[in-house]
Amino acid sequence: MSGKVSQRNEARAALAWNIATRKVEFTYKDISAETGIGIRSATALVRSWEARNAVSRIGKIGNRQGFRVNQDDRPAPARRDGSAIRHESVAGNMWRSMRGLRVFTPTDIAAHSNTPTCHVTLAAAQEYCQMLARAGYLKVERKAVPGRREAAYRLTRNTGPLPPRERRVRAVYDENLCEFTHMAGGI
């Protein structure tokens, strides 16, 4: 159970950071309102960003303390003792890109998922799209024409911030639902 709570908190922290970077300037209340977390949790989160120099105080926005994002990179998730919780992954970057795009091709996913610390290849994006289409997460919007155009997909099953992954047993496991959603040979 504590693993689920930790993952949920980490997902909320990621959502909060995305909101902060989108707004550039924000308050505790902005983070609380847009993520649905309590004002105390939002305050603690923003203060942890401030401690890592990811944000700076800028004075008042309206009648509330304002902050500005110092960097475009999300600070690495860290425990209270400062140790890292998790590193970004190729699958995680691709899943976040899929959740943000309406209709996409593997080339779009590869382009939107690359970061300075995590390189996503076109082959990896094609493989991930095909795996998610087999598992029922993606709908083919436009079929591929070999040598002329690639397939276009739409995300139809958005189960949360953690990426579905293919497991060694040749199955797709959704960490948001804590269940296998597709197994080779059928469920």
pLDDT tens readout for residues 74-102: 555 555 555 555 557 899 999 999 999 98
142 lies in the same domain as 59: no
Whether residues 166 and 111 share a domain: the answer is yes
Q: Quote the CA–CA distance of 17 and 45 in Å, as a whole number.
A: 9
Place of tokens 């290849």: 121
Looking at the chain, the whole-number percentage of residues with pLDDT higher than 70 is 83
Residue 21 lies in a domain: yes
Domain range enclosing 15: 2-69
**Of 50, 48, 12, whose CA–CA distance to 31 is shortest?**
12
Burial class (CB in 10 A: 0-12, 13-18, 19+), 101: middle
Question: What's the pTM?
Answer: 0.49
The predicted pLDDT at position 185 comes to 65
**19: Cβ–Cβ under 8 A, 6 or more apart, which residues?**
26, 30, 31, 34, 35
Q: Tell me, yes or no, whether 33 and 95 share the same domain.
A: no
Q: Please write the tens of the pLDDT for every residue from 12-64.
A: 777 788 888 877 788 888 888 888 888 888 888 888 888 888 888 888 888 88
Asked if the model's pLDDT at residue 68 lies above 70, the reply is: yes
8: in domain: yes
Give the CATH number for residue 157.
Answer: 1.10.10.10
Q: What is the CA radius of gyration of the chain?
A: 19
Same-domain pairing of 63 and 106: no
174 touches 181 (CB < 8 A)? yes
pLDDT of amino acid 99: 92
pLDDT at 2: 45
Report the C-alpha gap between 128 and 152 in whole angstroms: 13
User: What integer pLDDT is reported at residue 151 of this predicted model?
Assistant: 94
Domain for residue 75, yes or no?
A: no
Q: Are residues 63 and 94 in the same domain?
A: no
Confidence at 118, pLDDT banded by 50, 70, 90: confident
Residue 135 banded pLDDT, cuts 50, 70, 90: very high
Does 148 or 86 have the greater pLDDT score?
A: 148
The residue assigned the tokens 């003792």 is: 81
Q: What single string gives the DSSP state of each residue in 51-108?
A: HTTSEEEEEEETTEEEEEE--SSPPPPB-TTS-B-----HHHHHHHHHHH-SEE-HHH
> Who wins on pLDDT, 98 or 7?
98
**pLDDT at res. 83:** 55
